[in-house]
Amino acid sequence: MAIDKEAIKMHIRGILEALGDNPDREGLKETPERVARMYEEVFEGMNYSNAQIAEMFGKTFEEGMEFQQNAQDIVVVKDIEVFSYCEHHLALMYDMKVSVAYFPKKKIIGLSKIARIADMVSKRLQLQERIGSDIAQIMEMVTESEDIAVLIEGSHSCMTARGIRNASAKTYTTTLRGRFEREPELLNYFK
């Protein structure tokens, strides 16, 4: 699915009018175009399914990677910074930090690919819970490991800038698969 920039421009112009402003005034003349370009960038992930993202960032290393089934060899990447937009209010989810861990089985993924997966998944209209679930699903597709954990911390402007207006509120979500679900003590790796 390609993002329809022309439709976005038309609708942003309509929103400006609905807000009671003049979209032809100096400060707003180019706003619909700017917003359309921004949306194309910040919602890039909407162009791809989880399977397509797994294919895009699926380069792995297999040769010489011998792992025992119950070994404690673990990969943890902490504090990947992302942002997203809440699908309920189109409000910014910010100051988000994603941590991902997995037990390698047959394949090792490049560390930067984990951050790229988190970034691309976040570039959708999202829920924080689904971001974790999508990252876990893609990591499982790429690494062929079912032992995956995704922890996310974030602020939501739908809570900090409107509604309750609680600027210090943070949301924490965990997505646990395989051994992380069965052995909660493994979450100590995230400390």
Q: Which of 11, 89, 153, 181 is catalytic?
A: 89
Q: Which of 41, 52, 88, 129 is catalytic?
A: 88
Residues in the chain: 191
Selection from 184, 166, 171 nearest residue 131 by Cα: 171
CA atoms within 13 A on the CB side of 140: 17
How many Cβ atoms sit within 10 Å of the Cβ of residue 152?
25
> In this structure, what DSSP letter does residue 57 have?
T
Q: Which of 33, 40, 44, 86 is catalytic?
A: 86
**Torsion over CA: 5, 7, 13, 19 (sign):** negative
Verify whether residue 89 is a known catalytic residue.
yes
Q: Which of 30, 81, 87, 129 is catalytic?
A: 87
Q: Which of 33, 44, 153, 158 is catalytic?
A: 158
CA atoms within 13 A on the CB side of 33: 5
Bridge pairing between strands 148-156 and 92-102: antiparallel
Selection from 175, 130, 127, 129 nearest residue 148 by Cα: 175
Verify whether residue 86 is a known catalytic residue.
yes
Which residues are known catalytic residues? 86-89, 128, 156, 158
